[in-house]
């Protein structure tokens, strides 16, 4: 199969590209600043926030292969901190990369798959797209947007032979933690004295989380399934449980549990 993955420089993207290439697929991957290249993977320099880059990346794959069987939207970034201290520019950047980056690619990929009458669209969301995470509100908002967009897209494309799948990872040990932009004004800690401890807990959970190769192994199976599930949560049992109990418990009770977990 011909597979296009966005954001393969590190983390999930790199692990998926390695695994899917090893599986025998023809893998193309976008990057902004890759320095180490995976043998057998075709790299395309493209920024998901630049429409011309996105259009050119999709065209390069089509010119070479004439089709795209699987598109995996993975490119993303995180901005953390109390929402009132996150700038409007931060909010715009978060949505521009995580959500609009996906929308830009799908703008060019969907017509191709519709003409093919076949294809899989797999978008990486997050547990944070199912739960509003404190001090990660912008990130959660961008992932909630992916969830809603894909739910609608799935219904619209169901008669064209196109499968739309959302994958929601929990805590994973990747470079995402170190690359997260966090607000650092001294006033933040005056107004939110528990922020530092909560952020430390979040980073500890991520650094001790699952390895990206685990997600890549799951993705290896998803891309070949004739009828994949609509939604996959790839996380620890406790994180899966939190998603399951959210719609069952009264909102105030669930909020109390989350507050205790994050030390709010």
Provide the residue ranges of all domains of the chain, joining segments of one domain with +.
2-261
Active-site pick, 28, 108, 135, 139: 139
Q: Check if the beta carbon of residue 54 is closer than 8 Å to that of residue 87.
A: no
Q: What is the pLDDT of residue 82?
A: 92
Question: What pLDDT sits at residue 178?
Answer: 66
For the chain, which ranges sit under pLDDT 50?
none
DSSP 233-252: EES-HHHHHHHHHTTTS-HH
The verdict on domain 2-261 having CATH code 3.60.140.10 is no
pLDDT of residue 198: 83
pTM: 0.91
> For the chain, where are the alpha helices, taking DSSP H only?
11-22, 51-65, 88-98, 100-116, 137-157, 176-179, 186-191, 195-207, 212-222, 237-245, 251-261
Active site residue 139: yes
User: Do 115 and 68 contact (CB within 8 A), yes or no?
Assistant: no
């Amino acid at each position: 199969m011909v597979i296009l993955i966005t954001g393969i420089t590190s983390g999930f993207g790199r692990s998926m590209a390695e695994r899917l290439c090893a599986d025998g697929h023809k893998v193309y991957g976008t990057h902004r600043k890759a320095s180490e290249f995976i043998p057998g993977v075709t790299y395309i320099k493209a920024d998901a926030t630049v429409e011309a880059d996105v259009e050119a990346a999709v065209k390069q794959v089509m010119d070479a292969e004439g089709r795209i069987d699987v598109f995996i939207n993975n490119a993303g970034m995180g901005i953390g901190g109390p929402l009132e201290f996150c700038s409007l520019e931060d909010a715009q950047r978060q949505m521009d990369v995580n959500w609009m980056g996906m929308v830009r690619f799908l703008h060019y990929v969907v017509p191709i798959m519709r003409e093919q009458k076949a294809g899989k669209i797999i978008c990486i969301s997050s547990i944070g797209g199912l739960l509003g995470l404190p001090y990660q509100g912008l990130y959660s908002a961008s992932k909630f947007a992916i969830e809603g967009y894909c739910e609608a897209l799935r219904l619209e494309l169901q008669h064209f032979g196109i499968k739309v799948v959302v994958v929601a990872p929990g805590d994973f040990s990747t470079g995402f933690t170190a690359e997260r932009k966090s607000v650092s004004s001294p006033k933040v800690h005056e107004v939110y004295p528990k922020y530092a401890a909560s952020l430390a807990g979040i980073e500890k959970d991520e650094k001790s989380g699952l390895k990206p190769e685990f997600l890549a192994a799951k993705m290896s199976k998803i891309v070949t399934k004739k009828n994949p599930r609509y939604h996959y949560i790839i996380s620890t049992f406790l994180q899966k449980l939190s998603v399951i109990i959210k719609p069952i418990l009264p909102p105030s009770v669930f909020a109390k549990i989350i507050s205790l977990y994050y030390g709010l």
